[in-house]
Structure 1
Amino acid sequence: MSSLQTSQCNMNQLQTSSCCRKNSDPLSMNDFWLEVENIKQMHGSDGEESGSSEPSTPEEGEAEADWLQDTGLSPLISDLNPTEDNVLILSTLTRTQTAAVQRRLDSYSRSLRKRSKQPARDVRDVFHRVSRTNIVMEENEMDRSNRTEDPNVFTENTPKSPSSLHGHSGGSDVYNMEVAYSDQAAFGHNEDCKTAWQPESLPHFQIQKGRLGVTRVSDLSSSDMKQVPALALIELTALCDVLELDLKRNKAAKRKPTESRLFGVSLPALLEQDRKLITNTQVPLILQAILNCLEKNGLELQGILRICGSQARMKSLQQRLERNFYAGLFSWDDVNPHDAAGLLKLFLRELPVPLLTAEYLPAFTAVQKISDLKQRLQALNLLILVLPEANRSTLKALLEFLRKVASHEKCNLMSLWNIATIMAPNLFLYRGSGVKSQEGGEKQQAEGVAGLVMAMVHYQDLLWTVPTFLLSQVRKMNENSTKRFNERRLLHFLRKINLDKERPEKNHTEPCKQVKIRASIFVKDSLAIQLNEGMQAADVLKKFQEHLTHRSWQMVSTMGLIKCNSSFSFSNLELYEVGGNIGEHCLDPDTYLLDLYNANPNGEWVIKPSPPSTPTL
């Protein structure tokens, strides 16, 4: 009976896909609704899940409290005095971001007044309570000695004008990450370059590179990335406020733990057991294995992802995987690619917490209401940065695979839109939420979430970029976190002022500077580089390769990185910024090093090999 249902399913899908190709509408939603029906049939055959509950909307005031907790500002609504860290977080924010924080505090205060409780404090009061004057004085001293003032950092004496924002504009195909997205929206930065949402012809955006280059998520250390989600959430909220978009977050649904080891297991639990086998695993090994199987045998197969596999075979495969996967006894050689595609979608649907998280699934859905494509991508960029690391890495692996499927469209007849309409229900139909039928506004919502999946696949390189203005705020937080206003710090600060008075005034237009770049992994000595305004990171790597070619420096073979009798690819080397106001930062080859030195004079530069890709079972 199961085989008969599967055959009927495959015939229906082939007939539907044939009709889609005959129709002139390239954005047909037939694949979407067919996938919804397949999911309903599978859920019906498995029965209703027990022990799970629907995601719920927080009560009035609770949403604001959760938001302040996630942004690291929860002490502002407690009876405790705000800590220095809270004040320093606020001091890094732009005016638009600070206004978003104040709106959440005001909303929380209104809910408290309804319950006859003492309201939360005002953000402006916090700045004055914890020696803000001293903080600003020391920051200004640092800015004068190290670099010009950052236009994105909020200070009461430095207003930001619309004209200064328009100075960075550029054309409609330029994607600006230097200025906060909320400020761009608030000051009409994109009014002259509106980009309509047209899924059939997605435009190409060029990231506007500043003097410090572009930073990907993988370029930052884990300690630095831990600070990004809170700042990204504040910026996302500020952007939605400007766009008058209601940003709602659900509370995670409760679900009883499963006895399964693979399917229906949370991503953190999967990664915890995977790391016992392979350390530093970022994507669940079972998902990596499924994707590898599909890449090996399914990329050129017609209807891959569209045609559902046999339910009986998938059930058998699932049981065998549970028994044998971690023992290394399961072979993927004879797995039908359509069955593997079914396992992929089943894995995503069975996650106890959706891949886009229960909290932010409504936010992802709401992003479709943003008409301007560039602003929609800005919101998606921030949402991806807000995701937990496990979800973000897993989503990235999925989208990279989907892009490979789309690149073989001529063979598999799967366009990017087809892929998006099929995968959207598996990402957005969680525990009965999302789009259920074609009636009313639900059809428009279905097209919207499919468009979001399409945009995430097409623009994934842009979306996994840390905006320059956020990285600037991370640097400022790292600088401020080292400043403790105690006796020792105060004495050190006073001593620094006296020393600075004795030194000649620093010339910011200094044409060159000599620095040493450590490369101790490869050689016993450091590399001296004369910095000038045109020196870039790529130039340093080139000079380092020339030194290794023309000088017989002793390699460190005991590190296991270079074998004495084996060749080594110096093209895999990267220049890293370490210490100072950053943990560790892999530099863009186009980074201008004199500007980087001025931005982080206390950091050092290290040449290291690129990190290896995560191995799989």
Structure 2
Amino acid sequence: MLNRHSFYWVNPSENNDVQNKEGNDLSETSEERQKKVKSRLKNFFNRRPPMESLIKRGIWKDELAFGGSLEKVCGNEHPQVPIFVQHCIKCIEKTKENMKTDGLYLVSGNLSQVQKIRLQVDQSNLSILDQEKDIHVLTGVLKLFFRELKQPLIPFNLSNRALEASTNKNRNKKLSQFQRIVKNLPTPNHDTLKFLLQHLIRVTEYQEFNRMHISNLAIAFGPTLMWPEQESQLVNYMKYQSLVIEFFLGEFTNIFK
């Protein structure tokens, strides 16, 4: 049965007041509707905050944590060390048992779990690091971060100088060369390298238990922190890159004074 709510009559002479479901006036011409749409879009873009503001506020990330450039990953942090690196190292150093783990940084963690954490970190979920119980997974994630940077932590333009310096037999000249290399590092590289080396030195304080003295850590981190821009240089790098990290660790205080 029809009632008064079943339908209503629209007088054609009143079609100026008729609107469609979207609230558009059906009497408008196509040109008039296009002008309204353009006006709305213009207002929307004028109200939208600039990309720089979104990045600064942490709403939008210019690059993911893994596979990005160190400078962009660091953002406006002071010191300029990626938050992921700071948080991961904090988790590794959380207990003495972690630091005493045999083969720390040499033993590989579960690869699938490492990749799982990587994906979560790229989605800004750092809490997953706190939940991880396997120390070798945490160390594996940290090394993976450095291996996947667009440029190594010791960048291409300075790595050859570091290799040459590592073979210098004169300790004082060698030290001077390393000091100049550090002074020429971009701020994010300088701060992050210093932060990481300080952590590795703390690892050596437990070498009685973890067997990770300086030379073993240098072997673990040599290919992680520096690699050649040209594949043809790989053999030369493999021969000396651990010597570079070993000197950085052994002379840390004098190099970064």
Compute the TM-score of the two structures, normalised by the length of structure 2: 0.69
Q: CA deviation at 1:322?
A: 1.5
How much has 1:354 moved relative to structure 2? 1.4
> Is contact 1:324-1:330 (8 Å) kept?
no
Percent of paired sites with the same residue:
21
Q: How far is 1:319 from its partner?
A: 0.8
Alpha carbons 1:349, 1:430 under 8 Å: kept = no
CA distance in 1, matches of 2:209, 2:253: 25
**Does residue 421 of structure 1 match 2:224?**
no
Matched residues in 1 for 2:252 and 2:129: separation?
Answer: 31
Residues 433, 456 of structure 1: alpha-carbon distance in 2 compared, 3 angstrom cutoff: farther
**Counterpart of 1:314?**
114
Cα drift, residue 334 of structure 1: 2.5
- 1:366 equivalent to 2:164? Answer yes
Instruction: Note if contact 2:68-2:149 (Cα within 8 Å) is conserved in structure 1.
Output: yes
Q: Aligned-pair distance for 1:329? A: 4.7
Amino acid at match of 1:265: G
C-alpha deviation, 1:428, in angstroms = 2.3
* Residue pairs, 1:350-389, within 5 angstroms: 350-389=148-187
2:206 aligned partner: 408
8 Å Cα contact 1:428-1:434 kept in structure 2: no
Distance 1:303 1:329 in 2: 25
Question: What's the TM-score once normalised by structure 1's chain length?
Answer: 0.30
Q: Distance in 2 between matches of 1:453 and 1:331?
A: 26
Find the counterpart in structure 1 of residue 143 from structure 2: 345
Larger C-alpha radius of gyration, 1 or 2? 2
Instruction: Identify if the C-alpha distance between structure 1 residues 358 and 288 changes in structure 2 by more than 3 Å, giving closer, same or farther.
Output: same
Report the CA distance between 1:280 and its aligned residue.
3.1
User: Quick check: which one's helix share is greater?
Assistant: 2
Tell me, yes or no, if the aligned pair for 2:92 and 2:138 is still in contact at 8 Å. Answer: yes
> What letter corresponds to residue 65 of structure 2 in structure 1?
L
Aligned length: 195
Unaligned residue ranges in structure 1 (runs of 5+): 1-257, 466-617
1:253 counterpart residue number: none
Q: CA 1:352–1:460 in 2, change beyond 3 Å: closer, same or farther?
A: same
Other structure's SS at 2:128 match: coil
State the partner residue of 2:21: none
The separation in 2 between residues aligned to 1:336 and 1:378, in whole angstroms, is: 40
Report the Cα distance in structure 2 between the residues aligned to 1:374 and 1:385, rounded to whole angstroms.
17
Partner of 2:101: 301
Q: Which structure 2 residue ranges, 5 or more long, are not aligned?
A: 1-60
Q: Which amino acid letter does the alignment assign opposite residue 247 of structure 2?
A: A
Shift of 1:268: 1.5
1:334 paired residue number = 132
Query: Residue 335 of structure 1: CA displacement?
Result: 3.9
Provide the C-alpha distance between the structure 2 equivalents of 1:353 and 1:308, rounded to a whole number of angstroms.
23
- The separation in 1 between residues aligned to 2:89 and 2:130, in whole angstroms, is 11
Q: Which amino acid aligns with 1:381?
A: Q
Residue 281 (structure 1) shift? 4.3
Match of 2:123 in 1: 323
Q: Which has the higher strand share?
A: 1
SS of alignment partner, residue 102 of structure 2: coil
Residue 453 in 1 paired to residue 226 in 2? Answer: no
CA-to-aligned-CA distance 1:281-301 (integer Å, 9 cap, x gap): 421100111111111243110
Deviation at 1:330, TM superposition (A): 3.3
Residues of 1 paired with 2:233 and 2:205: CA distance? 28
